[in-house]
Chain A
Amino acid sequence: MSEQLTLYLHKLSPYSLKIELALIEANAPYKSYQVDFQNKPEWFAGKVNPAGKVPAVTYGGPNVEPDDPSPLSAKIAESNVILEFVADLYPDSGLLPKDLVLRAKVRFFIDATTKHIEGPCYAFFQGKEPYDNILKGIEFIQELLEEGRDFAVGDHYTIADACISPQFEALKIITKTDIGKFPVGMGYKLGEELKGPKFAKFMKYAQRMLDRPSLKQTYDEEFAITFFKTRFTERVQ
């Protein structure tokens, strides 16, 4: 009988989404609970994650309702830490390869995603930086992708794919709708750049990830667009 796993998440959090994708791709059973950040339950920080953020996971302990977390369960936070934890729990799922060198490649890919994609995308979206660093980051990631390979590393879906896929959704929304704090039109312009031959390998990989049932099943793009439209009304000049 396996231990209970509860994922505290938010549907708009790319970091939460990483974990959902990994769990679905691994066929792992889990409970989920959406944390309402407009009205955060006061038990969340005290009983699940002192940092008050999602994603956070409880593991083990009695099988309680998500809104009544037990002190007996282990509490794990930080998306990339949770990805490794899920890979440890399901060692035959392929989430991490068995080969040591391939495992290092997965981790290098995740490190590169954090440094070269997540950082620049967030900064651009918040209007703090132009999109140049995103393009540089994409070039860096592209060098790691192999021609004719469906996945980031090896021949199976890994936590590397789960880690980067939410950023493809973010980029898709930004380039399709121009929503964000960046100057008007820069989202469309980024989209035009990404259509060029220079980024073809990256875009093909991104589209394969966007087409996966795991992502379609868990991400509500329309809901995200509606939410971001209302939230991101201020633009930098």
Chain B
Amino acid sequence: MSEQLTLYLHEISPFSQKVELALVEANAPPYKVYRVDLRNKSEWFTSKVNPVGQVPVVTYGGPNTEPDNPSPLSAKIAESNVILEFLADLYPDSGLLPKNPILRAKVRFFINAITKHIEGTYFSFLRGNESLDNALNAIEFIQELLEEGSDFAIGDHYTIADACISPHLARLKIVTETDIGNFPVGMGYKLGEELKGPKFAKFKKYAQGMLDRPSLKQIYDEEIVIEYFKSIFTDRVQ
């Protein structure tokens, strides 16, 4: 009998979606999902689930209670990349992490690169605090790490590396197609043009493969994220 698993999330959060993707791709046994209202956070969420008040968070084990009545007996696990590793531990034969230590190190290096270059440099570009060139260099760094001749970032199976980057790839598509962001007008379109060039062919192919996966289509609603982006990116730099 497996332990209960409850995921607290929000569909606009790429960090929440990393975890959802991993669960779907791993064919995880049934788990509960609870959508946290980020603008109107329930007091029980911060006091009983995550003191930092952020999503995603997972509760694991303890009695099978309703998500809005979390038990003190369950373990509480926060931070998207920590949760990804936890899921890989929970489902060791899912392929979420390879068995080979060197390949596991490659998966972790890829995730580390996403933190630095996508969640760091590329996010700064979206905020209008970083040049297009540096955003492109960041994507090139990621491209260099992609396995040759594979649909996946590392090895020949979907891993937490793919789950980690896919929500960002989905949002990258929005940026290049709508130019929404705080960077100067047109830079989003320009980013899209550059990524269509031969230099980024490997990245483009990988990204498209990730976007085409049923797991992403199942959990991701582009319209909602477009509306969300319009509401947060209101301060263009010149």
Residues of A within 8 A of B (CB): 59-60, 74, 76-78, 80-82, 84-85, 88-89, 100-101, 103-104, 107-108, 111
Contact = CB atoms under 8 A, between A and B. Distances in A.
B75 interface: yes
With a 10 A CB-CB cut-off, give which of A74, A89, A100, A107 has the most chain B CB atoms: A100
A74 B105 contact: yes
A108 B78 contact: yes
Contacts of B101: 85, 88-89
Given A81-B109, A101-B60, A101-B61, A108 B77 contact: yes
Nearest to B51: A143
Contacts of B90: 100
Q: Which 3 A-B pairs have the closest CB atoms?
A: A88-B101, A101-B75, A81-B108
Given A59-B102, A103-B89, A108-B79, 15 more contacts: A74-B102, A74-B105, A76-B109, A78-B109, A78-B112, A81-B108, A84-B104, A84-B108, A85-B101, A85-B102, A101-B75, A107-B81, A107-B85, A111-B81, A111-B82
B8 to A, nearest CB: 15
Contacts of B112: 78, 80-81
A197 to B, nearest CB: 22
B86 interface: yes
A104 B112 CA distance: 17
B102 A108 contact: no
A108 to B, nearest CB: 5
Nearest to A86: B101
A203 B102 CA distance: 36
27 contacts: A60-B102, A76-B102, A78-B108, A80-B112, A81-B105, A81-B108, A81-B112, A84-B105, A85-B101, A88-B101, A89-B101, A100-B89, A100-B90, A101-B60, A101-B75, A101-B77, A101-B86, A103-B85, A103-B86, A104-B85, A104-B86, A107-B81, A107-B82, A108-B77, A108-B79, A108-B82, A111-B79
Nearest to B92: A100
A103 B165 CA distance: 23
B48 to A, nearest CB: 16
A100 B92 CA distance: 11
A100 B2 CA distance: 13
Contacts of A104: 75, 77, 82-83, 85-86, 89
Interface on chain B toward A: helix, strand, loop, or mixed SS?
Answer: helix
Contacts of B86: 100-101, 103-104, 107
Interface string B57-92: 000110000000000000101110111011001100
Contacts of B108: 78, 80-81, 84-85
Given A77-B109, A78-B109, A101-B61, A85 B79 contact: no
Contacts of B60: 100-101
A76 B105 contact: yes
A88 B78 CA distance: 23
B85 A88 contact: no
Q: Which of B81, B101, B109 has the most CB of A within 10 A?
A: B101
Nearest to A81: B108
Interface in B88-111: 89-90, 101-102, 104-105, 108-109
Contacts of A89: 101
A18 to B, nearest CB: 14
Nearest to A85: B105
A76 B109 CA distance: 8
Contacts of B109: 76-78, 81
A181 to B, nearest CB: 23
A103 B83 CA distance: 10
Nearest to B90: A100
Contacts of A80: 108, 112
Interface in B114-144: none
Contacts of B82: 104, 107-108, 111
Interface string B164-182: 0000000000000000000
Contacts of A77: 109
Contacts of A78: 108-109, 112
A76 B81 CA distance: 19
B201 to A, nearest CB: 21
Given A100-B90, A101-B61, A85 B104 contact: yes
